[in-house]
Amino acid sequence: MLKGVTFAMLVAVASCTCDFPPRFWCDSKAIARQCGVEFLCARQSWVDESEVQPVKLDLYMESLCPDCIEFVTKMLYPTWKKFMGTGIMSLKLYPYGNAKEVQDGATGMWNFTCQHGKQECAGNLIENCVQKYTDYDVEKYFPIFNCIESSKDPVKAASKCVSSAGLDWNVIQKCSSGAEGNKLMHETAVATDNLDPKHKYVPWIVVNGIHTETIQQEAQDNLPKLLCDTYKGMKPAQCQNYDEKTKLRVTYRED
C-alpha cells in the first residue's frame, strides 16, 4: 500500500471512474489505468512476465473411477479448454490411481490389479500409451482422454477416440497389450507411489507440487477460480468472468 493511502481511500477514489470490483483492478494494465491504481498495482502485483510460471496441475486418476470421470469431463477438461493458449496452466495426467503392481520374477513384467477390475487396467494402459504416442503433448492427448472418459463404455470407445484424433489404433492396442505399455504403466505407478503425502483416494489433485484437502476441494468446486487466484502473472481475460454458480461438488470418493 502507498504511504499514507489506505485501501478504503483508494476504493473511494477509484469507485468514481472504475467499472470493475476491486479484486479485478490489478488483473490487467487497462483495468488498473481506468481505475487509477496503475502505480499501486505495478508495485504490489505485477511481476516480470518472463519469470512467471504457469500453475502446474497434476491429476492422479483411474480410467473407470466415477469421481475421476466426473472431475475430468465436467471440471478439468472444460477449464483446460477455456484457458488454452493463455499460459496460465501446465497439466499432466497420471492414469493409475489405486491400482497395485507385483513384478513377475521370471519375466520381469508387472502384474496389475486395478480397483475397478481388468477393464480399468486395460483403460489405464491405453491412456498411458496414448500419452507416449502423442509425445506427452497434453494438447494432443487430453482431448482423447476426454473422449474416452465421456463415453458410457470408456474402454470400448477408446479405439474410436484414438482413431478420430489421427492416431493409429493398432499401434496403441499393441502398446497397451504388450511390454511397452507394461513398462509405461509401471513408470506411472512409481510416480503415483512416490507422492508425498501418499494419495488416499482418486482423483488426487496436486497444484504446484502441493496437495492439501483445501486445494483438493477448491479444485473440485471451482478450478477456474483456483487457477486465477494462484497464477502470479497478469491475469488473462478468462479470469474476469468465472462463475461461482458453475461449481462442481464431488460428493463421494473412491477410497
Kindly state whether residues 78 and 197 are assigned to the same domain.
Answer: yes
Cell numbers 493458449 correspond to what residue? 85
Residue 73: which CATH number? 3.40.30.10
**pLDDT one-digit tens code per residue, 69-122:** 999 999 999 999 999 999 999 999 999 999 999 999 999 999 999 999 999 999
The domain in which residue 66 lies consists of 51-219
Can you give the pLDDT at residue 71?
98
* Res 224 pLDDT > 70: yes
The DSSP-derived string for 146-161 is: HHHHTSSSHHHHHHHH
State the Cα angle at 187 between 217 and 71, rounded to 5°: 25
Residue 206 has pLDDT above 60, yes or no: yes
**62 belongs to a structural domain:** yes
Summarised one tens digit per residue, pLDDT across range 145-196 is 999 999 999 999 999 999 999 999 999 999 999 999 999 999 999 999 999 9
The whole-angstrom separation of Cα 228 and Cα 236 is 8
For the chain, what is the domain count?
Answer: 2
User: What is the C-alpha separation between 131 and 116, in angstroms, rounded?
Assistant: 21
Same structural domain, 27 and 99: no
pLDDT class of 39 with cuts at 50, 70, 90: low
Closest Cα partner for 107 from 193, 186, 173? 186
Predicted model pTM:
0.80
Note whether residue 237 is domain-resident. Answer: no
Pair (24, 130) in one structural domain = no
